[in-house]
């Protein structure tokens, strides 16, 4: 009797669930406020296709394909719209947009403190102000000696491989370099990746953390199924988040114990100048250090790796960049590559921009949600409350809507309109669509430092080495993305230019 009762209960629950799912699907296809937006019907019904795409590491590519089929705005999930219109950048992330759109999809890393990335309102403004001094022109200039020291270690490892005639995975070497640089600046920590020619255990932990964040974000989008899906997250993935936060906090505590040391010029030199109500709490320092270690490493390494790949398969652009670097450096008395000398290299800046256009380090999109009781206009569309919106970088940068010869590596498109090398057919490019550091009050604060670091590294590499691809492993269409890119080796053959 009990078994029969249990069977009836199970059948009743299953029937109710099926009825609910069916009615919800009908509502989302017929009466939902976003029903007029184009997109596949299955994605309008369920979050599962988008989440599954994320778990496979193919979300940016799948969203790009959807925009190719459906146009500049696509309903990629029941309550989620993706835009590629240039105006959408300001409409979603600009100063005016902040009144009606709030950050969405970030999970709380700690109950007592939130980093600048996930903070809101006055807390975000206060934290951004405190950090801004550490990314000022003066701070960037003061970091050049430390950067030069790390880059020399990078070059030394490459020289050894070159002389041994060993094929080099320069992509991994760039990761070593970026982690060593940011570890020292953000955590006063020597990871020693370049010295040991291997990932520090903490760095290896971070690479796992990227996948964890992607899985959790997509699981949380599944609503009532989220707790069930979280059961399938491997324990070591969840522990990677906790361990990273713990180790970051420990390093911040060690740095704070040192205090204001005139012999140390790192990020905390500037943070510690802001105390009291305008400064950061200890908890905020700890969680921000954890985020900065992530945000300042892989994107820079990926941008340079992508640019090197496109230079390798575009010999005319490669030669032109070598000529520019040689012309600037040989005209100097000391013939040393510096930040000042890279400022006289417009083509290297153009190459990096074109590399990031075709191979954006963060190919996805930051999500915002229309606040409760509000409406918002994005790219001319009026959106109701709780609609989630984003601009996905990969489709926005690489589809033909905004850039002529959209799938070609043409750095000249980023030269001034009156430059003699600027192709006439690129003059109508919608360059405002290209925003790799986002826009508005929450854009990337480290944009200036990132460009300075990338140009210095790329110029130093090309000044010292000739290179060519050793194989075709770095096929960008086959790569995966979990927040950042999960890229294959970029193997090259190196020849020293000056022996």
The domain tally of the chain equals: 1
Is 464 within the bounds of a domain?
Answer: yes
Is 13 within the bounds of a domain?
Answer: no
Q: CA 76, CA 395: separation in Å to the nearest integer?
A: 13
Q: How many helices (H) and strands (E) does the chain have?
A: 21, 12
Give me the sign of the Cα torsion angle 365, 108, 184, 280: positive
Condensed to tens digits (0 to 9), the pLDDT of residues 345-365 reads 999 999 999 999 999 999 999
Q: What is the pLDDT of residue 9?
A: 61
Q: CA 93, CA 366: separation in Å to the nearest integer?
A: 9
Is 385 within the bounds of a domain?
Answer: yes
Condensed to tens digits (0 to 9), the pLDDT of residues 244-296 reads 888 888 888 988 888 877 788 888 888 888 777 778 888 888 888 888 887 88
Tokens 């290896």 found at: 204
444 assigned binding-site residue: yes
Is 24 within the bounds of a domain?
Answer: no
Could you give the strand order of the β-sheet that contains 465-469, starting from the edge strand earlier in sequence? 168-169, 491-496, 465-469
> Average pLDDT, stretch 33-61?
93
pLDDT greater than 80 at residue 232 = no
User: What is the maximum alpha-carbon separation in the chain?
Assistant: 96
Q: CA 254, CA 264: separation in Å to the nearest integer?
A: 13
CA 184 to chain CA centroid, Å, is 20
Cβ atoms of 155 and 460 within 8 Å: the answer is: yes
Measured N-to-C along each axis, helices 235-258 and 170-187 cross at an angle, to the nearest 10 degrees, of 50
Tokens 């989440």 found at: 51
Is 22 within the bounds of a domain?
Answer: no
Q: Structure pTM?
A: 0.93
Q: What is the pLDDT of residue 200?
A: 81
- Specify the CATH number for the domain of residue 122: 1.10.630.10
Cβ atoms of 228 and 245 within 8 Å: the answer is: no
pLDDT greater than 70 at residue 60 = yes
Is 5 within the bounds of a domain?
Answer: no
> Average pLDDT, stretch 102-124?
82
Condensed to tens digits (0 to 9), the pLDDT of residues 293-320 reads 878 888 999 999 999 999 999 999 999 9
Beta bridge partners of 482: 484
User: What 8-state DSSP symbol labels residue 414?
Assistant: G
Pairing state between β 168-169 and 368-370 = unpaired
Please spell the DSSP secondary structure of 299-335, one letter per residue. Answer: HHHHHHHHHHHHHHT-HHHHHHHHHHHHHHHHTSSS-
Is 226 within the bounds of a domain?
Answer: yes
Q: Which domain range does residue 376 map to?
A: 32-496
Is 63 within the bounds of a domain?
Answer: yes
């Amino acid at each position: 009797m009990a078994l029969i009762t249990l069977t009836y209960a199970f059948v009743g629950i299953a029937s109710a669930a099926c009825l609910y799912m069916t009615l919800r699907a009908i509502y989302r296809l017929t009466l939902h406020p976003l029903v007029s937006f184009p997109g596949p019907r299955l994605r309008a019904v369920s979050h599962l296709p988008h989440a599954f795409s994320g778990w496979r590491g193919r979300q940016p590519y799948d969203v790009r394909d959807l925009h190719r089929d459906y146009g500049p705005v696509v309903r990629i999930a029941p309550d989620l719209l993706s835009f590629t219109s240039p105006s959408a950048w300001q409409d979603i992330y600009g100063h005016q947009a902040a009144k009606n759109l709030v950050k969405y999809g970030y999970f709380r890393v700690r109950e007592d403190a939130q980093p600048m990335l996930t903070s809101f309102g006055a807390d975000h403004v206060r934290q951004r102000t405190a950090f801004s001094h550490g990314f000022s022109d003066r701070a960037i200039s003061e970091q050049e000696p430390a950067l030069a020291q790390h880059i020399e270690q990078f070059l030394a490892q490459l020289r050894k491989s070159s002389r041994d005639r060993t094929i080099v995975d320069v992509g991994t070497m760039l990761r070593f370099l970026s982690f060593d640089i940011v570890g020292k600046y953000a955590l006063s920590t020597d990871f020693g990746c370049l010295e040991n020619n291997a990932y520090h255990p903490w760095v290896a932990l971070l690479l796992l953390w990227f996948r964890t964040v992607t899985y959790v974000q997509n699981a949380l989008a599944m609503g009532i199924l989220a707790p069930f899906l979280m059961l399938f997250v491997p324990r070591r993935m969840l522990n990677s988040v906790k361990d990273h936060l713990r180790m970051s906090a420990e390093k911040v505590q060690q740095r704070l114990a040192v205090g204001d040391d005139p012999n140390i010029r790192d990020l905390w030199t500037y943070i510690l100048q802001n105390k009291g109500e305008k400064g950061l709490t200890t908890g905020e320092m700890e969680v921000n250090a954890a985020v900065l270690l992530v945000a300042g490493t892989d994107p820079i390494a990926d941008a340079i790796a992508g640019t090197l790949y496109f230079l390798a398969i575009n010999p005319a652009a490669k030669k032109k960049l070598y000529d520019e670097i040689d012309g600037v450096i040989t005209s100097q008395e000391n013939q040393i590559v510096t930040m000042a000398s890279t400022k006289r290299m417009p083509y290297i800046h153009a190459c990096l921009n074109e590399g990031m256009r075709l191979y954006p380090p963060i190919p996805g999109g930051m999500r915002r949600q229309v606040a409760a009781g509000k409406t918002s206009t994005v790219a001319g569309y009026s959106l109701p409350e709780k609609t989630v919106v984003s601009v996905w970088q990969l489709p926005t940068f690489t589809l033909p809507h905004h850039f002529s010869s959209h799938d070609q590596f043409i750095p000249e498109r980023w030269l001034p309109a009156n430059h003699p090398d600027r192709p006439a057919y690129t003059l109508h490019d919608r360059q405002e669509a290209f925003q790799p550091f986002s826009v508005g009050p929450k854009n990337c604060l480290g944009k200036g430092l990132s460009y300075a670091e990338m140009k210095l590294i790329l110029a130093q590499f090309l000044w010292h080495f000739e290179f060519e691809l050793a194989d075709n492993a770095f096929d960008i269409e086959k790569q995966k993305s979990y927040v950042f890119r999960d890229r294959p080796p970029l193997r090259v053959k190196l020849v020293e230019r000056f022996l």
